[in-house]
Amino acid sequence: EVDEDLQSETAEEAEKYGKLKQCIIKEEKGAPDDEAVRIFLLFDKVQEASKCYADMKGRYFAGRTVKAKFYDEERFARGDLERRAASRVLLLTNLVEPEDVDEELQFETLNEVEERFGPAESCYVHVLPTTVPQDAEGVRIFVVFDSVEVATKALSAINGRLLKDREVKAKFYEEARFLQGEFAD
């Protein structure tokens, strides 16, 4: 049960990590007790969110263990705050520019994620047809991990990472859509 002070107390605690833009509390009716309350925190910078994530995950608060996850920014912006399961598939954008895409990129990316995070099945690079030179958002790299746990570990480490002055974006991607060849949103 959510009390009237939860939002202000949560916002106050989260502001220790940086500028908090938004704090939303959502009750999930019918969900198991340990998943009945979902709190969404939107920070000004990814680095601030990462600090909060690292510190809050696993922390004991109000008699419960905090489960922390990064949430899809596009879903959040649309107000889509319904619970969805994580996926074995990660979508990486802003990693490379179109002119950097070559036949080695899939192999190199797969090797790197396996070395850093654990087993992965495959990697697929898709350049959106409307992509212009230097549009790193248009290069979509899909990595299929062996498990949701490994994908989650990779997501938390990759999302927001700076690479050649670009902020890499990582998010879960629905495995069914990936398997059906749907590579654009």
> Tens digits of per-residue pLDDT, 11-53?
999 999 999 999 998 887 666 666 778 899 999 999 999 999 9
Name the token pair of 166. Answer: 């670009």
Question: Is pLDDT of 1 > 70?
Answer: no
68 neighbors 156 (Cβ within 8 angstroms): no
Question: Is pLDDT of 137 > 70?
Answer: yes
Give the pLDDT score at 185: 67
DSSP for 24-82 reads EEEE-TTS-GGGSEEEEEEESSHHHHHHHHHHHTT-EETTEE-------HHHHHHT---
Give the pLDDT score at 80: 74
Give the pLDDT score at 165: 84
Give the pLDDT score at 168: 92
| Sign of the torsion formed by the C-alpha atoms of 171, 136, 183 and 147 | negative
Give the pLDDT score at 3: 77
> Tens digits of per-residue pLDDT, 78-113?
777 766 568 899 999 999 989 899 999 999 999 999
d(CA 6, CA 12): 10
Give the pLDDT score at 55: 92
Give the pLDDT score at 64: 78
Q: What is the mean pLDDT of residues 143-164?
A: 91
Name the token pair of 110. Answer: 């797969």
Give the pLDDT score at 23: 93
